């Protein structure tokens, strides 16, 4: 095993990921592709502010078991609050940027009111799941610093998503009846 590099360093911000539906199933061998939404919540659990000018999301695109979405997926991205925007710069890469060039994530609920963004939700709607069951990773690459003037460093956080086979979906339905 290789020692962790700079990209494996602990992120400054905290990330959680939820899929809707909760369990992701590979699309059937023929016909329409299954749809899934992905929500990434970004918060600060440090005791000091975090300054973030850019987040990058890498989605595994392709037809294999290690990829999540089929090519040509037509993802609908949305950021909340609206002071952030999400743009697909490639089919598998989305960038998330604040309108004021750098967002300040506050460390606590009762922080000063001059914050730009206390938290962020990134919704990727309408992901068309490919047809191969398997395990895949979605990456968030943060560009962030603990000082407003400090040069931001890149750190990566990965979410493992399991695409279940349709046999598991139908077996689960049979057990519920």
Output phi, psi for 51, to 5 deg. -110, 125
Query: Alpha-carbon distance 104 to 100, whole Å?
Result: 10
The domains of the chain, with CATH numbers, are 6-171 (2.60.40)
**What count of other Cβ atoms lies within 10 Å of the Cβ of residue 135?**
11
Instruction: Output the tens digit of pLDDT for each of the chain's 177 residues.
Output: 334 444 457 999 999 999 999 999 999 999 999 999 999 999 998 889 999 999 999 999 999 999 999 998 688 999 999 999 999 999 899 999 999 899 999 875 554 444 444 589 999 999 999 999 999 999 999 999 999 988 999 999 999 999 999 764 444 443 332
DSSP strand E in 5-92: where? 14-20, 24-25, 35-43, 50-58, 76-80, 84-90
Query: Alpha-carbon distance 115 to 135, whole Å?
Result: 38
**What count of other Cβ atoms lies within 10 Å of the Cβ of residue 18?**
13
173 in Cβ contact with 164 (< 8 Å): no
Q: What is the DSSP code (8-state) at residue 58?
A: E
Output phi, psi for 167, to 5 deg. -60, -35
pLDDT of residue 17: 96
pLDDT of residue 106: 85
pTM above 0.85, yes or no: no
pLDDT of residue 1: 38
CA nearest neighbour of 105 among 158, 137, 152, 57: 152
């Amino acid at each position: 095993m290789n020692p962790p590099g700079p990209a494996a360093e602990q992120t400054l911000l905290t990330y959680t990921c939820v899929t809707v539906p909760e369990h992701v199933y590979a699309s059937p061998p023929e016909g329409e592709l299954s749809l899934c939404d992905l929500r990434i919540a970004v918060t600060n659990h440090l005791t000091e502010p975090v300054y973030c000018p850019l987040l990058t999301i890498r989605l595994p695109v392709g037809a294999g078991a290690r990829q999540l979405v089929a090519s040509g997926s037509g993802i609908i991205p949305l950021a909340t609050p609206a002071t952030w925007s999400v743009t697909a710069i490639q089919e598998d890469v989305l960038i998330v940027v604040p309108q004021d060039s750098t967002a300040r994530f506050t460390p606590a609920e009762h922080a000063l009111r001059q914050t730009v963004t206390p938290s962020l939700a990134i919704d990727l709607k309408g992901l068309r799941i490919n047809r191969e069951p398997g395990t895949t990773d979605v990456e968030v690459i943060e560009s962030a610093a603990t000082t407003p003037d400090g040069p931001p460093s890149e750190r990566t956080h990965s979410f493992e998503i399991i695409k279940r086979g349709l046999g598991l979906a139908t077996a689960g339905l049979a057990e519920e009846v």
